[in-house]
Amino acid sequence: MKATVFVATAIAGLGATSDALADGDPTRGAQHYRACVACHALEPELHLSGPSLGNVFERKAGTAEGFVRYSDGLKTADFIWNAAALDGWLKDPAAMIPGTYMVFQGIANPQARADLIAFLEIAGKPGGGGKAAADGLIPAAWLRAGAPEPIRDVPPQARVTAIRHCGDSYFIRTDDGQETPYWEKNIRLKIDSVETGPPKGVAVILGAGMAGDRVSVIFSSLTDLISLVQEKC
């Protein structure tokens, strides 16, 4: 495939030791990228448990804008994510950056790494995620990956006005005037402080998990959480 050869040549030209890297095929690489979707979005500045990989290609390591959970190793790293650096990282992240928070055992097969790097060279450049989706390399859903749907237009029965904790239970009052009791272990209190979360001052109750009685209450800030939850029987 001509396009493949072109991509591989372009990678070799970026200062990588060309003989260490096999020719990469971005179409196959997009399939390997499936292993990354649980933790990374491609939309720039959309951080999940890992930093956004939007614009990662040739970005300085440990510098994604707004991502505050880098390990010391990545925070102080002094290299850019070119093909050679990505090859080392994807082979064995913990060997390259001891103490890294990226829990990933690595990809032993050099061809699979080269394919994935060829894909990241497209998807990890400005506008690249959208381009990869438009070209059919990946489903559009992978751009936002595991990011929750933004919370909008909350109906009164999902809008929380007060939470009482008493004994082993939460009593959750909603904007339709109902107060519903829940076993404390079935409730998750979560904060979503970015744009996917509820508006400031509003807490939202969402059904979660398999059993119908397990719910999450999402707050937009710790301040909202503290002001809404009370110990009161």
Residue numbers of the site for ligand HEC (CB under 6 A)? 35-36, 38-40, 49-51, 53, 56, 61-62, 64, 70-71, 73-74, 81, 89-90, 97, 100-104
Q: Are strands 187-191 and 215-219 parallel, antiparallel or unpaired?
A: parallel
When the beta carbons of 30 and 163 are compared against ligand HEC, the nearer one is 30
Minimum gap (Å) between residue 89 Cβ and ligand HEC:
6
Helices (H) and strands (E) in the chain, counts: 9, 7
Residue with tokens 């829940």: 182
When the beta carbons of 145 and 203 are compared against ligand HEC, the nearer one is 145
Closest listed residue to residue 114, CA positions, set 36, 52, 44, 27 = 27
Residue 70 CA to residue 57 CA, distance in Å, equals 17
Residue 123 CA to residue 26 CA, distance in Å, equals 9
When the beta carbons of 73 and 130 are compared against ligand HEC, the nearer one is 73
Minimum gap (Å) between residue 110 Cβ and ligand HEC:
14
When the beta carbons of 64 and 172 are compared against ligand HEC, the nearer one is 64
Minimum gap (Å) between residue 90 Cβ and ligand HEC:
6
Rg (CA), the chain: 22
Q: At what angle do helices 110-123 and 2-12 cross, to 10 degrees?
A: 90
Minimum gap (Å) between residue 59 Cβ and ligand HEC:
6
Contact 53, 124 (CB under 8 A): yes
Minimum gap (Å) between residue 77 Cβ and ligand HEC:
7
Minimum gap (Å) between residue 222 Cβ and ligand HEC:
22
Minimum gap (Å) between residue 40 Cβ and ligand HEC:
5
When the beta carbons of 103 and 222 are compared against ligand HEC, the nearer one is 103
When the beta carbons of 93 and 198 are compared against ligand HEC, the nearer one is 93
Residue 172 CA to residue 174 CA, distance in Å, equals 6
When the beta carbons of 85 and 163 are compared against ligand HEC, the nearer one is 85
Q: What are phi and psi of 198, to 5 degrees?
A: -70, 165
Cα dihedral: 91, 97, 98, 104 (round 10): -40
